[in-house]
Chains A and B, each alone.
Chain A
Amino acid sequence: MFGVQYSVTPTTEHRTLNTEYGLMSTVLKQEKPSSLKGENTPVKPVGETYVWVTAMGLAIGLAMILFLLALILYNGIGVFWPRHVALIEFAEESDTRFHGGTRALGVVVLEQERDVRDLTPEQIASPHAVDRREKQLFMGNRDAFGQAFAFFGAGDIANITYPRHVIRAERMEWGDAIFFPLRIERGDGRTVSADDPEFEPLLRRLTDEAVARRKEINRIERFQIGRINLQMRDLELEDRFFQRIETLTEGDEQAWARVRERIEVLQAQYDPLAERAGALRERQRADTLVYEVVTGQERQMPIGELVGYYYPNQLSVIGKTRLFFAQIWHFLSGHPREANTEGGIFPAIFGTFVMTLIMSIAVMPFGVMAAIYLREYARQGPFVRSVRIAINNLAGVPSIVFGIFGLGFFVYFVGGSIDRMFYDNALPTPTFGTGGILWASLTLALMTVPVVIVATEEALAAVSRGVREGSLACGASKWQTIQHLVLPASAPGILTGLVLAMARGAGEVAPLMLVGVVALAPNLPIDGMFPFIHLERKFMHLGFHIYDLGFQSPDSEAAKPMVFATTLVLILVVVVLNLAAIMIRNHLKKKYAAGTF
């Protein structure tokens, strides 16, 4: 196919040209045989067919990645955009009913063709395509209806309106509620009707107060009482230690007395705090919002249960935008509620971040040192070659194997030994002898260390022999050469390895499930309580969060938007971590760029 193209090379053409340019014409003749003169034989364009083949490979890859990103972006961001609430009335003649009524209230989240197996013969025969379609409605009020989503035949809908006074409220429990407000019943017996112009400002004020109170309760219970509990736990361990000793010396008696005294002091601090939290909780239940759901049923809830509310059908574009960003912020900064299906994912973001950082801190020196020995000091031979092959293969071991190794080695062996040595009093409750962020990070570090070793070795090998010899000729030792010249010059390459390792580590889930990740961690691995970094704590992770939401939650339909949003955040976290490493790398590259002549 390609071989025939030059067979048409003319042999006489160059003589017809000006002889002064004889040399050039020869060149021309070889390059473009057909352009010289009126050749009648058509010449195929030179065969670069593989340009298309290779470009197609890239295009397919790019298209898949862009499609995936666009899908996640659309679904992940779309969750937070406030949408109108539709009041749907079913045609009298259709047999579609919702809890016996002809009305349904909710957000239309999906409209699609019905599965043909669900269609009746009449619907199949119907001339109207709309009869074969269905709408999915998010109705909220899981407490009242028992379900939050429902499908309705599009053809049965007689009328859709958007009533202005409908409220969509986010609650502490049972998910969102969508309703028509009736009145507020105050704790002192007064009542404010929804028709009253005072109603809206009052509801706003009471909600804000309730949110502030909830923060206060949280502060008291999580931090102040939490701190006391932490100290109390240590003291109780000491108490138990003394109880176990059969013959106490004088000094022991005094120490024990001091411990018990401090327990009492802490107890004295604890009681007023608990009392105050109880009073605040009581206050949360004082005011009640009475409302009517679409079936006509009257329901009520304490305003203390409200997280926030809005009138979805009264929002302007600016209002929607503001709400959009507020909801994104709540999602990113909040703690999860209701089996993770509501609220925010902050602990998971934080856990992923901290775990990846600890992993990087662990994997970097380890991998770099190994690579330096392998490349700079070890005598290159069959043994070093086989070690290198082994390392490369280690990178291909399934991650779950590392998880099992981490569980057996780090958690049970190392952690168990630490517990026996330093946390003897707490046993049989394990401290380090159970999964935790440290063991998870170390397991991932072990998993990604081959990546760092391989990248570092390549970077070290790329440092020119000339620079090394120049350094040695200056009287530098081998280590000085490595320290002053080789390592700085290979820093960009080493960081590339770290980027790869982080990208792999941050997105890994399977091994983590064995060594410390949990669906809901009560505390963050880093907080304001001494010693601030709690490496033994279990933690949340975005990847596991996605798995838990999408496949372990009771209502996976309700969790779907959260799955997309969490996926988006996970991708963003990985991108942010990588960008940081890439920026450091480029900075170093500029600094140590090897010049050419």
Chain B
Amino acid sequence: MTANRDTPTRAAAPNDVQQRRVAVSRSAAATLEGVNAQHIQVKDYSFFYGPTQVLFDLTMDFPERHVTALIGPSGCGKSTLLRNINRMNDLIDGISHQGDIQIDGSSIYDPYLEVISLRKRIGMVFQKSNPFPKSIYENIVYSLRVAGRNKKSELDETVETSLKAAALWDEVKDRLQESAFSLSGGQMQRLCIARAIANRPEILLMDEPCSALDPIATGKIEDLIHDLKKEYTIIIVTHNMQQAARVSDKTAFLYMGQLIEYDETEKIFMKPSEAQTEAYVSGRFG
């Protein structure tokens, strides 16, 4: 299914891409039975910034090795939900939660679980690409180094496989020791993806990974997401309806911290059951 993918023309003709992607999603959805449909479980989850409640009793499951898109207007809590899966919001003072999030059946809030070991299982790509002020090579191996793995052969291999997986290897293989800042915006974001998967996580969280990129770079990242879902459970937050339709297998629509509708992407975009969802995906509000 990836044989006829052709990046430049894809970026140039988004409609064509969208149709093909929808087709791809459908075929992927058909295999849902073979995988763990409850890789990540969100159970009656509420979340508060101080006294302000931003998530209201969310209950949803994210299937293994599929792409789930979180859509909704700004401030609806989709980024908050995403950032709670690897407990990135712990950095903020005055947060609290109710309910639970479980990965493979074990709670991320388990007091015996170290948050670092949780984050090692979860890669994250941010809205604004955030390469470290180091060389390309050091960026990729960072997660290995902080885990105390410094064997040269292992690092070299990780750099190559991660960059290949992020479709960046051919572009940077001759300048791995150069600063990561010498890359273009799209390359930087792919470098961040390569960094996120360097430590072989199970889950990949993407917080609007293409919002700062041009259509060509966006196309490349979307192709990449499509390839990566064979190995990773991907959750992506996006503001771009077409992107959600193109890359995801399942889509959740959040509004004001509530889960309005969560279903197969095709269904959300073609015949949503909620009126709010239809209004949002067709662009009437949000």
A interface with B by C-beta (< 8 Å): 379-380, 464, 466-467, 469-477, 480, 484-485, 488-489, 591-595, 597
Contacts and interface: CB of A to CB of B under 8 A. Distances in A.
Contacts of A471: 132, 142, 146
28 contacts: A380-B93, A464-B130, A467-B133, A469-B88, A470-B126, A470-B131, A470-B132, A471-B132, A472-B88, A473-B86, A473-B88, A473-B124, A473-B196, A474-B143, A474-B196, A474-B199, A475-B120, A475-B143, A475-B146, A475-B147, A484-B142, A489-B133, A592-B133, A593-B133, A594-B133, A595-B181, A597-B188, A597-B212
A467 to B, nearest CB: 5
Interface in B85-132: 86, 88, 91, 93, 116-117, 119-120, 122-124, 126, 128, 130-132
A488 B119 contact: no
A473 B146 contact: no
Contacts of A380: 93
A488 B123 CA distance: 24
Nearest to A474: B143
A408 B58 CA distance: 64
Contacts of B120: 475
A473 B131 CA distance: 12
B235 interface: no
A480 B131 CA distance: 16
A475 B142 CA distance: 9
B185 interface: yes
Contacts of B179: 593, 595
Overall SS of chain A's interface: helix
Nearest to B138: A484
A469 B130 contact: yes
Contacts of A472: 88, 91, 119
Nearest to B127: A466
A472 B123 CA distance: 10
A480 B145 CA distance: 10
Given A470-B130, A484-B132, A488-B133, 8 more contacts: A469-B124, A470-B126, A471-B146, A472-B119, A474-B119, A476-B142, A595-B179, A595-B180
Contact of B128 (A379, A466, A476, A484): A466
A467 B188 CA distance: 13
Nearest to B119: A475
A474 B198 CA distance: 9
B70 interface: no
What 7 pairs between A and B have smallest CB-CB spacing? A595-B181, A466-B130, A475-B120, A473-B124, A474-B143, A476-B146, A470-B130
A480 B196 CA distance: 17
B192 A470 contact: yes
B65 interface: no
A472 B124 CA distance: 10
B177 to A, nearest CB: 13
Contacts of A485: 132-133
A379 B93 CA distance: 8
A467 B147 contact: no
A467 B124 CA distance: 12
Contacts of A476: 116, 142-143, 146
B195 interface: yes
Nearest to A590: B179
Interface in B126-179: 126, 128, 130-133, 142-143, 145-147, 179
B94 to A, nearest CB: 10
A593 B180 CA distance: 11
A6 to B, nearest CB: 39
Given A472-B119, A473-B119, A473-B124, A467 B130 contact: yes
Nearest to B213: A597
A380 B124 CA distance: 27
A94 to B, nearest CB: 79
Contacts of B198: 474
B134 to A, nearest CB: 8
A472 B143 CA distance: 9
Contacts of B133: 467, 485, 488-489, 591-594
A78 B91 CA distance: 63
A210 B143 CA distance: 70
B185 A484 contact: no
A325 B181 CA distance: 49
A64 B199 CA distance: 60
Contacts of B93: 379-380
A466 B126 contact: yes
Nearest to B185: A597
Contacts of A591: 133
A469 B142 contact: no
A253 to B, nearest CB: 59
* Max chain B C-beta neighbours (<10 A), residue from A473, A480, A592: A473
Contacts of B117: 475
B123 A473 contact: yes
A20 B179 CA distance: 50
Contacts of B195: 470, 474
Nearest to B212: A597
Nearest to B121: A475
A500 B123 CA distance: 42
A485 B138 CA distance: 11
A462 B180 CA distance: 19
A471 B93 CA distance: 19
Contacts of A473: 86, 88, 119, 122-124, 126, 196
* Max chain B C-beta neighbours (<10 A), residue from A467, A469, A489: A469
Contacts of A489: 133
Given A474-B199, A475-B147, A594-B181, A467 B132 contact: yes
A446 B118 CA distance: 42
Contacts of B130: 464, 466-467, 469-470
Nearest to A473: B124
A247 to B, nearest CB: 60
